A and B are shown apart, each in its own frame.
Chain A
Amino acid sequence: MNIKATLKLSAAALVFATAALAEGTHPVTGEALADNQTFSYRLLDQFPTLDPQLNEETAGHHVIRDLFEGLMIQDADGNLIPGVATGFEASNNNQTYTFTLRPEAKWSNGDPVVAEDFVYGWQRAVDPANASPYAWYMELASIVNAKEIVAGEMDPTELGVKAIDDHTLEVQLTQPLPYFPAMTTYATMMPAHRATIEAHGAKWTDPENIVSNGAYVLTEMVLNEYHTREKNPMYWNADSVIIEKTTGYVINDVNQALTRYKAGEIDHLEPLPDGQFPVLQEERPDEATSVPRLCSYYYAFNLRDGAKPELQDPRVRQALAYAIDRDVIVNQILKGGQWPAYNFAHLKTAGFEMPEIEYASMSQADRDAKAKELMEEAGVSDLQLKLIYNTSDSHKAIATIVAAMWKQKLGVETTLENMEWKTYLDVRRDGQFDVARGAWCADYNEASTFLDLLTTPHGSNDAKYSSAEYDELLSTSKTSDNPNEMYTKAEKLLSVDMPIAPIYHYANTFLLSSDVKGWPYNNAENNWYSKDLYRIEK
């Protein structure tokens, strides 16, 4: 990575930007900027927390990214660029990382952002007293002693991160991790302002208390209604920030959100109501977009001891997977630019070479014929299956059509059972199913985030697939110079063992007001920062 060059470039852009902004044009593109530099968007639900270390899942992460800044951040294409750190050095075979912090970085109250703030934040993430549900992220990052601290065997101060001086942070890892700097863009690894947290406890994220170091500060917060974040004048790069105010409105019902978008109350709506993308794209070609989203949708077959005997025969699982006409699902039900999937890892994952899967290249008629053959070979007739999914219109539509395909092509009787989310998680974990809907979203933009799921010890391997060969391939890939070789083999193995039937690769459909520019369409993780957006004159 050429951090220095990027930095020089951004410094030059900054000088240029300051001059251009004053004249009301965009510093890089020269577009005329609107007087009104606000941005509003829809949130499906209230996010659980704004405490970076307690944050979990993806809800609320985009807000935290605006309010706080980690060592590194992402640009519009998802590339790693300097955040609070101006750069880093890896030593000791990628096991020690030394980050240099920019001296001009400040908290919103004017305090300088120092290395100790990162040490404190990261210790909070692993401290059992804080009970962060994302403490595992620090273990995943292989930071020395993280695991032991989370387990309560060591003191949080023994975490392998220390402030050499105010502007130098040193991190010790238990194993070489070339992608460690990329992990510092995530909420869990953001700095924390000790004085504020100690003064206000759990209420430190309230608008009147919060001290943050990102491009924006939280100014209003009404649960389940809206929140606003306004430009932080103390942000080190505040001069290049154009959007003055961002408002997130919680609108639970997606159709209601669409009406409000059409009424001009919000600038951005994601995702679009099921199946409506083609119509909206026709109506609003400048606003409706579909971009890849790094998630895969699949049906898992129950491979536990004592589960349905017929399903233990890989030929039966293959037959079931072959008989699913994915084009119908993608083109007739979802209609949002999703891709039919015959392999597990999302086709747009960075650096991932799509494997050549045999049944992917067959026609559906051939697949159906092959499926019948396989069932006959296995000597299975009148198979009865229980398919479980969590309550949702599109899961239901897919389950119904898959059951119809299995019935029609293979004579399989499928009972559908939907359940609300937490019950579904419980039932699926207990293995009370024959086939279960599943989906997995990338934690980071690399194929192992998907493929690891089917290794024996993985907590979300709900099929309970266990293959020594597969485990070995994934384990070898970690240290390999060319992991794609192992990934291809692993995917091919999956298409034979078929513990899961991949169904489709996700796409994100959204509407964005045509005068809002700077959206990171090419960021595969869909990470957006308000500071990169701007509104042009209509």
Chain B
Amino acid sequence: MLSFIIRRLAVAIPTLLFLVVLSYLIMYAAPGGPFDMERPLPPAIMANLEAKYGLDKPLVVQMFNYVWNVVVHFDFGPSFIYKDQTVNDIIAQGFPVTLTYGFWSFVVASVVGMSLGILAAVYHNSWLDYLAVGISVGAQVLPNFVMAPILVLVFTLWLGWLPGGGWQGGQWQYIVMPVIALSTSFMASIARLTRSSMLEVLNANYIRTARAKGLPMRRVIFRHALKPALLPVISYLGPAFVGMITGSVVIDMYFSTGGIGVFFVNSALNRDYSVIMGITILTGALTVLFNLVVDILYAWIDPKIRY
């Protein structure tokens, strides 16, 4: 197992490097630059700006300097647009916010989703099944950009229970709506995955055997059925978790949370090269990391899997 982890981490390094080079090239190929504005800058001012941010050097040199600073100094450079901020500042400020609502969304989506899925499978074709499927289909077709305004309308404007946006250091009132809006569609997918996988497992011969032995249903489900039924769910949870904690531009935009998602989208629109790169690397590294976590969990759950 240890050698597997080491091997996987060793592969991660060239993967991330490839990601850096590819993102750099795509970024430069995009029309326009960080300093293009409605009013074109005089050449002398443009030259000063390019010199200040190192854009006057050849692309290869820029890339090398960038990677060097990231690897050796862990410095992602200054933002080209937010002139008082470095990329490290932006990530340090936005990522904990995203991590918080992402983590809670993950918890809610997994717990509610799996419970619904298990209930639906165990009480297959009963009203409970129909209700659970109904809820998950409903949640799936309600995208978060529809959910968000509805939530604010109901809980802020009509009921006056929750603030309509903001973060305020992560007080619970500010977390509730982002978590509901972000978790619903994930919850729906998890519920449906769990349900179908659970149904399949419940029809397997060894479950029939367990039931024939007269084991109580609860024991059959939790001892024998749950673990194998969760395998496909877990392979979904890994990327879903990364998706949730690396930010949702919709959540950030509607709830003004100050999370990383809106920075990512704005940096692409503003051609804020260093911020694009910083968040790309962060997302890339987290994706690699959580795929590894999923693989390890797999081995733990299914003894047949050996690395």
Quick one: closest B residue to A57, CB to CB?
A: B37
Tell me whether A152 and B44 are in contact (CB under 8 A): yes
Known: A256-B164, A259-B153, A425-B36. A49 touches B83 (CB 8 A): yes
State the Cβ distance, B158 to closest chain A Cβ, in Å. 9
Q: Is B262 an interface residue (CB 8 A)?
A: yes
Complex alpha-carbon distance, A427 and B163, angstroms: 42
Say yes or no: A226 contacts B41, CB within 8 Å.
Answer: no
Asked if B209 is at the interface (CB within 8 A of a chain A CB), the reply is: no
B270-293 interface (Cβ within 8 A of A): 270-271
Chain B residues 15-51 with CB under 8 Å of chain A are 30-33, 35-42, 44-45, 48-49, 51
Known interface pairs A223-B94, A421-B269; A255-B149 also in contact (CB < 8 Å): yes
- How far, in whole Å, are A10 and B118 apart by their CA atoms in the complex? 75
Shortest C-beta distance, B92 to chain A (Å), equals: 10
> Chain B contacts of A131 at CB under 8 A?
45, 48-49, 51-53
Shortest beta-carbon distance from B264 to chain A in Å: 11
Say if the beta carbon of B85 comes within 8 Å of chain A: yes
In which size bucket is the chain B interface?
35 or more
Q: A252 is contacted by which of B48, B81, B152, B256 (Cβ under 8 Å)?
A: B256
CA distance A427 to B93 in the complex (A): 35
The chain B residue sitting closest to A264, CB to CB, is B160
A56 at the interface (CB under 8 A from B): yes
List the B side residues contacting A459 at CB < 8 Å.
Answer: 39-40, 42
Chain A residues contacting B48 (CB-CB under 8 Å) are 128-129, 131, 135, 150, 152
Residues on B with beta carbons closer than 8 Å to the beta carbon of A202: 78, 83-84, 86
With both beta carbons as reference points, the residue of chain A lying nearest to B33 in the complex is identified as A422
Find chain A residues with CB under 8 A from B298 CB: none
Contact residues in A for B31 (Cβ distance below 8 Å): 422-423, 426-427
B236 at the interface (CB under 8 A from A): no
A532: interface (CB < 8 Å): no
Our pick among A222, A223, A260, A420 for the contact of B82 (Cβ within 8 Å) is A223
Could you say which interface size class chain A belongs to?
35 or more
B261 vs chain A, min Cβ distance (A) = 10
Q: Does A23 contact B (CB under 8 A)?
A: no
Q: Which chain B residue has the least Cβ–Cβ distance from A43?
A: B256
Question: How distant is the Cα of A135 from the Cα of B271 in the complex, in angstroms?
Answer: 21
A133–B82 CB distance below 8 A: no
**Which of A136, A253, A425, A427 has the largest number of chain B CB atoms within 10 A?**
A253
Evaluate contact between A253 and B82: CB separation under 8 angstroms: no
Judged by a CB distance under 8 angstroms, whether B117 is at the interface is: no
Report yes or no: B166 in contact with A129, Cβ–Cβ below 8 A.
no
Within 8 Å of chain A (Cβ to Cβ): is B253? yes
Q: Please give the distance in Å from A284's CB to the nearest CB on chain B.
A: 14
A132 to B45, CA, bound (A): 7
Are A259 and B156 touching (Cβ within 8 A)? yes
B257 in the interface (beta carbon within 8 A): yes
Q: Is B44 a contact partner of A422 (Cβ separation < 8 A)? A: no
A51 and B86 alpha carbons, distance in the complex (Å)? 15
B217 at the interface (CB under 8 A from A): no
- How distant is the Cα of A280 from the Cα of B50 in the complex, in angstroms? 46
Q: Which of A51, A57, A252 is B83 in contact with, Cβ under 8 Å?
A: A51
Residues of B within 8 A of A386 (CB): none
B160 CB contact (under 8 Å) in A225, A260, A263, A425: A263
Partner of A54 from the list B37, B83, B254 (CB cut-off 8 Å) is B83
- Distance of A226 Cα from B90 Cα, bound (Å): 14
- Chain B nearest CB from A411 CB (Å) reads 33
Residue in chain B with minimal CB distance to A132: B45
Docked-complex contact B45 and A135, CB < 8 angstroms: yes
Which residue among B81, B262, B271 has the maximum number of chain A CB atoms within 10 Å of its CB? B262
Nearest-Cβ distance from residue B301 to partner chain A, whole angstroms:
39
Are B163 and A133 closer than 8 Å at their CB atoms?
A: no
* Contact yes or no, A250 B256, CB < 8 A: yes
Residues of A within 8 A of B85 (CB): 223
Asked whether B38 lies within 8 Å of A49 as measured between CB atoms, the reply is no
A325 to B93: give the CA distance in the assembly, Å.
49
Is A224 part of the binding interface, using a Cβ–Cβ cutoff of 8 Å? Answer: yes
Complex Cα spacing A225 to B93, Å: 11
Is B165 positioned at the interface, with any CB of A under 8 Å from its CB? Answer: yes
Residues of A within 8 A of B32 (CB): 421-423, 425-426
In the bound complex, CA of A265 to CA of B31 (Å) = 39
Residues 234-277 (chain A) with a chain B CB within 8 angstroms: 249-253, 255-256, 259-260, 262-263, 265
Say whether A203 faces chain B, with CB atoms less than 8 Å apart.
Answer: yes
Query: Within 8 Å of chain A (Cβ to Cβ): is B103?
Result: no
Given contacts A222-B258, A422-B31, contact A150 B45 (CB under 8 A): yes
Do B148 and A51 touch (CB < 8 A)? no
Are B45 and A133 interface neighbours, CB within 8 A? Answer: yes
> Does B263 sit at the interface, judged by CB under 8 A?
yes
B145 smallest CB distance to A (angstroms): 9
Q: Determine whether B266 belongs to the interface, using a CB cutoff of 8 Å to chain A.
A: yes
Give a binary string over A55-71; 1 marks a CB under 8 Å from any B CB, 0 the rest. Answer: 01100000000000000
For A136, the closest partner residue in chain B by CB is: B42
In Å, the complex CA distance between A263 and B164 comes to 8
A224 to B48, CA, bound (A): 28
Q: Point out the residues of chain A lying under 8 angstroms from B66, CB to CB.
A: none
Judged by a CB distance under 8 angstroms, whether A206 is at the interface is: yes
Nearest to A459 among chain B residues (CB) is B40
Instruction: Determine the distance from Cα of A41 to Cα of B290 in the docked complex, in whole angstroms.
Output: 40
Which of B44, B86, B163, B258 has its CB near the most chain A CB atoms (within 10 A)?
A: B44
A48 within 8 A of B: yes
Q: Contact: A136 with B269, CB < 8 Å?
A: no
User: Which 9 pairs across A and B sit closest by C-beta, in order of nearness?
Assistant: A422-B32, A225-B258, A426-B31, A49-B83, A131-B52, A131-B48, A260-B164, A459-B40, A252-B253
* A-B pairs with beta carbons under 8 Å apart, 14 shown: A46-B82, A129-B52, A132-B45, A139-B42, A150-B45, A152-B48, A224-B262, A252-B253, A256-B148, A256-B253, A265-B164, A423-B30, A423-B31, A425-B38
Starting from the known contacts A259-B156, A427-B31, 16 additional A-B residue pairs (CB-CB under 8 Å) come to A128-B48, A128-B51, A150-B42, A150-B44, A202-B86, A223-B89, A223-B263, A224-B259, A225-B257, A249-B256, A252-B253, A259-B152, A263-B164, A420-B269, A422-B33, A460-B38
A residues near B (Cβ < 8 Å) are 45-46, 48-51, 54, 56-57, 128-133, 135-136, 139, 150-152, 202-206, 222-226, 249-253, 255-256, 259-260, 262-263, 265, 420-423, 425-427, 429, 459-460
